[in-house]
Structure 1
Amino acid sequence: MSNCRFASAFKTLEHWLKYQLHAQEHFTLWYAAEDSQFVRFNQGKVRQAYPVLQIELTVRLILGERHASARINLSGEFEQDTAQLGQTLTQLRGILDVLPADPYLLLNTELWTSERQVPGRVPELQQVIDSICGLSQGLDMVGIYAAGTLYRGFANSWGARGWHECANALFDWSLFDASGEAVKSTYGSADWDAQVLSDLFEKAREQLHHLSTPRISLKPGQYRAYLAPAALDEVLSMLSYDAFSAKAFANRQSALQQLHLGQQQLSPLVNLREQPSSGFEPGFGHDGAPRQDVDLIRAGQLVGQLVNSRSQAEYSLQANGADQQEMPHTLVMAPGELATADVLRELGTGLYISNLWYLNYSDVGSARLTGMTRFATFWVENGQIIAPIETMRFDDSVYDMLGTHLLALTREQALCIDSGTYERRGLDSHVLPGALLEHLTLTL
């Protein structure tokens, strides 16, 4: 196992816990830590810069077919942390006394080890600040930078052990026009490249220039459209909540139920894979199951689903390391043949959509999504950006957007890293192309 202080502390806690067990008791441990630096920018200047060091431990106590879990925050001091962990064990034993047996508890008692360090290069903080402030000169820029190393660990009383380290950096920012409209951009990478950031700023500046022209008000209807990777990411993130879950399919609650039943299909251009082997997520889950790469959609047909141990026990399926929610965390969509440089020409006349906003289902059963255009959505004529449009609501089915109305996917893919920081920085990421659609339905 890695000799970093987090790995050593985790191994010490695991060793201590083994000697606290009563007869026939077992445990699993899930460890999540981060050593991050955050910087908040407003009007192109640093407004707040602060480090975050946090360690969380989730312990599950198992006795026969009964189990209970608790999550605690650790200090990194052995005596203090073991005292807290000992109190938690006592509490969990009291809970187990009154819990019924869990008929779908399926434990992975195999002996395995896993250690992975995602190669990463986080730049010096002052270097990043100087670069961002320089690129923002003369611009009304608002953004947040988050970078550092994240750690994940798993261990159980049967001897399985996994350790994962990942260093990356993410900058999520918006450039505002005097009208209040904005161009939103995100750059995230395990290998920070100042030139890539500079190129993205230049692209955002160009879009900001277009935002200064009077906005066009469109009537509801169907319009030819291009969804940039960030917009497509919003669509797939919405589907990720339940669409690929084995339990949702079994209960007929998946948004892609009709695809599962063979009543609908997507475009043959759509190939989608859950691919933890290439992402930032660890190769093991909270319950100790090694995660597997899973083909979900191949040539428009559903060929796989995400199955955790509970679904394996309940529905007689083969688990593939999915988490408790059976959600994908590292989606990869295969590219197409359309060069990104040719997007405007191929779009011709229609909508260039940089981002989508506030997505939700309007009809889960038919995979209909609704949301808003925002952050630099432009009207294009004859391959040229003419003007930004007033914010509009779209309402369309995934079977249309990624099915009958999908014309092409771009040859280039973009890495979309989860920018969420609720409770902790996330490790989710999607690798996606852009999508050219024959029609997208605007309603309001």
Structure 2
Amino acid sequence: MQEYFYELAEFATSQLRGEEVYTCSFWAEDSDFVRFNGSRVRQAGNTKQSSITLDLIEGRRHCRGELTLAGDVQVDRVRLARMLENLREQRAYLPEDPFLLYAIEIRSSERTQPHRLPEPDDVLAQIMKAGEGRDLVGIYAAGGMHSGFANSLGQRNWHSSFSYNLDWSFYHTSDKAVKSSYAGFEWRPAAFEEKARKAKDQLVLLTHPAHTISTGRYSVFLAPTALYEIIDMLSWGGFGVRAHRTKTTPLLRMIEDGVQLHPMVHIQENTHDGIAPDFQDSGFIRPGKVSLIHEGRHRDYLVSPRSAVEYGIPTNGATDAESPLSLEVSPGDLPQEEVLRQLGTGIYISNLWYLNYSDRSACRTTGMTRFATFWVENGVIQAPLNVMRFDETVYRMLGENLEGLTRERELILDPRSYGRRSNHSTCVPGALIRDFRLTL
């Protein structure tokens, strides 16, 4: 696959005219997908696909096209040559791009992560066993994802990763279910069994009569999957330099007014340990880590090549969207087994849903509790909690009202597969928070 891409890149170079240059990105996957419902396999299949995206450049004019590959070198050469001709014709009608920037320093690289994925039959057997006597619903996706970069200057980059992601629920009735996920690079049966055991215990608790509370402020514990939703919201323009300079970032008060999060909060883009490649579509190399928030204070931005030109600062290989791909929140010192005792009386929230900004410039978010959310008294879960709406600022949740982050973290892989499997990942702890505001 790697050599096939490089062969097409050499062919593209041979087709250039005059002062033309190109940048070219490659993407491919070989993924197994299994859909469960009622603890049965309802759909199973495998997807093998690959494509290239090529930007044909002359001076400051450029035009981009995408080509799904057939896997036959003769067929793909003909189609690639035709695409180059089409791009060349279209480019003649386009204006110059004042923010065009691509790598001219050749920095080739190759990184292939170990392939430790299990046999699908072994995984399915364990999943089916966990669902015996219950309504297990979900999707299992696993396999290799491959990324490449080439340009006509001679740079070549390659990245392969192999991961699995089980996004699943034990459904009880109505709006009551226990949602969970298990993702990683090497399937560990004991770890999955422990996750399934905890989910089964919560499923039993969901059979108890639901508890209703009034609006107000409560102590809460956000499980890693719940805190992930908050952190994912911050990724919507929270860390890119363009959003900061145009004052559309939800972290505006942190940048302009010096508002801080709790000193225990450290957020970074950790490309080294993620599943996304360490290079981007214009050929720039991403550093292993970029510290975004350090000790509760803003530290650095994600800077795309276009923003680098516009604002006169160096790029650090961010995407055009300047959103993180491999986000990481540092752990705290709260042991997971101490969470309920430290919570005392309050709410254990496993998941948050339907999040949005109620006041973007103030970093105020609103959303709903859902699924396995429980009322806790004196460190003991008493009953499932009926759905509630929250409205709270990140500055309070992860700032003045943050009481602790768990020592243990969870790796969450983005389960989206619209067109292709996502290579976004987040590693996040749970959070103990006081005075969390429920509004409805």
Pick the TM interval, shorter chain.
over 0.9
Gapped regions of structure 2 (runs ≥ 5): none
Contact 1:114 1:283 (8 Å CA) reproduced:
no
Could you tell me how far apart the structure 2 residues matched to 1:393 and 1:85 are?
52
Could you tell me how far apart the structure 2 residues matched to 1:70 and 1:442 are?
48
Q: TM-score, normalised by structure 2?
A: 0.98
Could you tell me how far apart the structure 1 residues matched to 2:401 and 2:90 are?
53
Aligned to 2:212: 217
Within the alignment, does 1:244 sit opposite 2:239 as a pair?
yes
Aligned to 1:321: 317
Aligned to 2:20: 25
Paired residue secondary structure (1:87): helix
Within the alignment, does 1:353 sit opposite 2:349 as a pair?
yes
Cα offset, 1:440, TM superposition: 1.2
Paired residue secondary structure (2:9): helix
Within the alignment, does 1:398 sit opposite 2:394 as a pair?
yes
Could you tell me how far apart the structure 1 residues matched to 2:85 and 2:373 are?
56
Q: Which moved more, 1:80-89 or 1:236-245?
A: 80-89
> CA RMSD for the aligned pairs?
0.9
Match of 2:403 among 383, 407, 420: 407
Paired residue secondary structure (1:196): helix
Q: Which amino acid aligns with 1:326?
A: E
Match runs of 1:265-276 below 5 Å = 265-276=260-271
Q: How many matched pairs?
A: 439
Within the alignment, does 1:441 sit opposite 2:431 as a pair?
no
Match of 1:261 among 242, 256, 265: 256
Cα offset, 1:130, TM superposition: 1.1
Aligned to 1:427: 423
Q: Which string of whole-angstrom CA distances, capped at 9 and with x for unpartnered residues, describes residues 353-398 of structure 1?
A: 1011111111111001111111201110000001111111111101
Within the alignment, does 1:203 sit opposite 2:215 as a pair?
no
Aligned to 1:368: 364
Paired residue secondary structure (1:21): coil
User: Which stretches of structure 1, 4 residues or longer, exceed 2 Å deviation after superposition?
Assistant: none
Cα offset, 1:181, TM superposition: 1.0
Q: Which string of whole-angstrom CA distances, capped at 9 and with x for unpartnered residues, describes residues 116-140 of structure 1?
A: 1122311111111111111110011
Cα offset, 1:430, TM superposition: 1.0
Could you tell me how far apart the structure 2 residues matched to 1:317 and 1:120 are?
38
Match runs of 1:19-58 below 5 Å = 19-58=14-53
Q: TM-score, normalised by structure 1?
A: 0.97
Q: Which amino acid aligns with 2:420?
A: R
> Percent of counterpart pairs with the same letter?
43
Within the alignment, does 1:192 sit opposite 2:203 as a pair?
no
Could you tell me how far apart the structure 2 residues matched to 1:334 and 1:262 are?
24
Q: Which amino acid aligns with 2:123?
A: V
Paired residue secondary structure (1:133): helix
Q: Which amino acid aligns with 1:218?
A: I
Paired residue secondary structure (1:413): strand
Could you tell me how far apart the structure 1 residues matched to 2:9 and 2:379 are?
61
Could you tell me how far apart the structure 2 residues matched to 1:366 and 1:260 are?
11
Cα offset, 1:422, TM superposition: 1.0
Cα offset, 1:178, TM superposition: 3.4
Aligned to 1:162: 157
Aligned to 2:117: 122
Within the alignment, does 1:340 sit opposite 2:306 as a pair?
no
Gapped regions of structure 1 (runs ≥ 5): 1-5
Cα offset, 1:263, TM superposition: 3.5
Aligned to 1:305: 301
Cα offset, 1:88, TM superposition: 1.2
Could you tell me how far apart the structure 1 residues matched to 2:175 and 2:285 are?
47
Could you tell me how far apart the structure 2 residues matched to 1:341 and 1:114 are?
43
Relative to structure 1, the CA distance from residue 180 to residue 222 in structure 2 (aligned partners, 3 Å threshold; closer, same or farther) is closer
Q: Which string of whole-angstrom CA distances, capped at 9 and with x for unpartnered residues, describes residues 85-121 of structure 1?
A: 1121111111110111111112210111111112231
Aligned to 1:3: none
